[in-house]
Structure 1
Amino acid sequence: MSIFDKLLNKRTITNPIFLKEFEDNNKQLQDLNDLLEKVSSDKKNLINRDIFFIKQELYGEKNVYNELKNSFIPMLAVHDIRLEFNDYVAQYDFILITAKCIFVLKTKQLNGDIDITEDGDFVRIIKNKEGKFLRKQGMYNPISANERDAHILEEILHREKLLNSITLKPIVVISNPKAIINKSKCPENIKSNLYKYDQISTLIKKVLDDSKYANELSEKNMYEIANYLINNNKEENIDYISRYSLDKIETKNENLDKIRNLQLNNVEKHVDLNEKEI
């Protein structure tokens, strides 16, 4: 290879570059906090519950984000992407675009102790405050959902001629540092796609060092993929009126306006009566 060719192929992406950053206060959280100020009924409890869950999710995603930002891995990254494809909708927490592989990350809190059986079933162990066993509770398999979303992404990128032979690897990342996951008996496809957030950098580096990932994306192609994801991100428009079965939303100012209008009407009626007496 000539010196010119080496210069032409020199890579400038030497660290993680987030083209769509993580945000502590996302749009859904902002919308719910705004809605909370406008609702004066028992629906506040439902909204507060959802705000709590979203904050928990964001806390977990921030753990993953910080780990990725400090990984020194050459990649382009985007956070919180929602794509629509045919009749499918796929939500992505993180998509990491490296030269050799695209990682599709789904973050999960998975609070408590989780056992994964030989059949791939996820079972939550419920304990009391003293740590004594109470019961087992089945839960959905996050691996399957993430594999489906990764497949949709692969179909989209192939359709747009942005991807040829580069591998997409779906990974579920446990973002809760206190979670205990027992995957000693689980199938290999789950074991190799489920990691705690503090292991994710090591996993990515291991994949990139693997000789079987021989094909490489150019940096131009990497940016094309990242920009496509950002430009085609479809934010979800949530109908909060229907979601919380709200007849209407009244703000404190609207309530005050009603009181003022009522008082004004009473004054006008009183004036009318006085005029008639005269």
Structure 2
Amino acid sequence: MGFLSDMFDARKIKGPVFYKEFSEDNKQLADLEELFEKVKSKKKNLIKKDIILLKVGLDGEKNVNYELKNSFIPMICLHDIRISHEDNIAQLDYVLVTEYFTMVIETKKLTGDIVINEAGEFTRKFKNNYGKVIKEEGMYSPIAQNSRHVRILEDMLKKNGLIKIRPVYSMVVIANPKSIINRTKAPADIKNNIIKHDQITDMLNKKIKKVIPSEKMRESQMMDIANFLKRNHTEITYDYYKKYGLTDEDFKEDINSKVEEVIEESYEKVVEIKIEQPVEKIAEIEIQKPIEKKEDLIEKNYEELYEKLKKYRYAKSQEEALKAYCIFTNNTLEEIIKVKPKNKEELLKVQGFGKVKVEKYGEDIIGIIME
């Protein structure tokens, strides 16, 4: 029946169809966030770091999902497929089954600019607000990583009789709109296999136009491949106790952090009290204010800035459903006031502020200081 439908061009797949949808309700993320709330030791920081990285990755996959859904290309899409084949495991961000080929997309939402040299080596460069490179680091080639995934998938499909000569392509998609890819010196095979997420539709259309029309796959074949992958997908189970080296002690309340937490919460309740009593006029007498001493002014400015930063921290903790000291501690707050950073680079030097926190809270904090 499917063969007759193809003969008379009565295809049902006329645009992107998702056999396994992208979802923001990610089980791994939910498990990590639950674990983060339970763990009381400093190992919370390791969990928090993984939560941030996972959220970044999911955000990148969401960008790719949007482009695929709006491509209008007849194909079957599967998100987050994990396959096992002959002692090999491959985690595939997206598998696209088009009428002419299958494609594996590896999604990367990387910060910084990406440079690929003539040897195919990848380097990431981080710049400050003035465009000056402040950090440079090598990274594992996502092209090599995804090529391995493609080899596993292709061999699996061939040995299960689902394809014979139909190609399986690899494509790395950079899903951060701010990233710049410098591939002028990259070898051709690498240059053509890495794109920005907003180039997906154009890339797919170009590949389809190069294919001979007679090589079009039957719709039933496309469905067979997609259903096979869906059936053979296996969910990964994480042993978080082993990964983070957790013991029963890590779930016990640390007395020092508990004391700080109580102090923080008590303070925040105090600063939230609003006094709205009417002010009575005693007399229409102009009273000259006493001249404040320099040291009094310094102390007053310190206290005002301290209170403003405390209020900001409390607001952010409520917004993100975190304890106030998770935003920054009292010691960090005092160092901020002491340093009075004028830009993000200076804030990075403050103990307790890494790149993530600077990007997240930096502009607000600097704005409060510069008021």
TM range (shorter): 0.7 to 0.9
Q: Could you say which residue in structure 2 is the equivalent of 1:149? A: 149
Is 1:180 aligned with 2:180?
Answer: yes
Quote the offset at 1:133 in angstroms: 2.1
Structure 1, 32-41 or 45-54: larger mean CA deviation: 32-41
Cα gap change, 1:94 to 1:213, in 2 (>3 Å):
farther
- Which residue in 2 is equivalent to 1:220? 220
My pick for the range that moved more, 64-73 or 208-217, is: 208-217
Structure 1: gaps spanning 5 or more residues: 253-278
User: 1:250/1:136 Cα in 2 relative to 1: closer, same or farther (>3 Å)?
Assistant: closer
Asked whether 1:48 is paired with 2:43, we answer no
TM-score normalised according to structure 2 size: 0.64
SS across alignment from 1:164:
coil
- Residue type at the aligned position of 1:89: I
Rg comparison, structure with higher value: 2
What is the rounded CA distance, in whole Å, between the counterparts of 2:214 and 2:122 in structure 1? 34
Q: Which has the larger strand fraction?
A: 1
- Which residues of structure 2 form unaligned runs of 5+? 254-371
| Structure (1/2) with the larger helix percentage | 2
Question: Is the aligned partner of 1:70 residue 2:70?
Answer: yes
Structure 1, 72-81 or 212-221: larger mean CA deviation? 212-221
Deviation at 1:226, TM superposition (A): 0.7
Alignment of 1:77-226 (within 5 A): 77-212=77-212, 214-226=214-226
Q: Give the RMSD, CA atoms, in angstroms.
A: 1.8
Cα separation, 2, equivalents of 1:213 and 1:91? 31
Any idea what SS the aligned residue of 1:91 has? strand
Given that 2:64 and 2:175 are in contact with CA atoms closer than 8 Å, whether structure 1 keeps it comes out as: yes
Q: Which amino acid aligns with 1:101?
A: F
Q: Could you tell me whether the CA contact under 8 Å between 1:29 and 1:51 is conserved in 2?
A: yes
Q: Distance in 2 between matches of 1:237 and 1:82?
A: 12
**Larger relative CO (CA 8 A, sep 6+): 1 or 2?**
1
Answer whether contact 1:100 1:214 (CA < 8 A) is retained: no
Q: What do the CA deviations read for 1:201-231 (whole angstroms, capped 9, x no partner)?
A: 1110111111347422211111111111111
Alpha-carbon distance change, 241 to 219 in structure 1, aligned in 2, over 3 angstroms: same
Which amino acid is 2:68 matched to?
L
Whether contact under 8 Å (1:207, 1:213) holds in the other structure is: no
User: 1:193 & 1:120 partners in 2: Cα distance?
Assistant: 12
Which SS does the other structure have where 1:120 is aligned? Answer: coil
Residue 45 and residue 122 in structure 1: after superposition, are their counterparts in 2 closer, same or farther (change >3 A)? Answer: same
**What is the DSSP-based 3-state SS (H/G/I as helix, E as strand, rest coil) of the residue aligned with 2:173?**
strand
CA offset digits 1:175-203 (Å, max 9, x no partner): 00000110011000011110100001111
Give the Cα separation in 2 of the matches to 1:134 and 1:66.
33
What one-letter code is carried by the residue in structure 1 that aligns with 2:235? E
Identity of aligned residues (%): 44
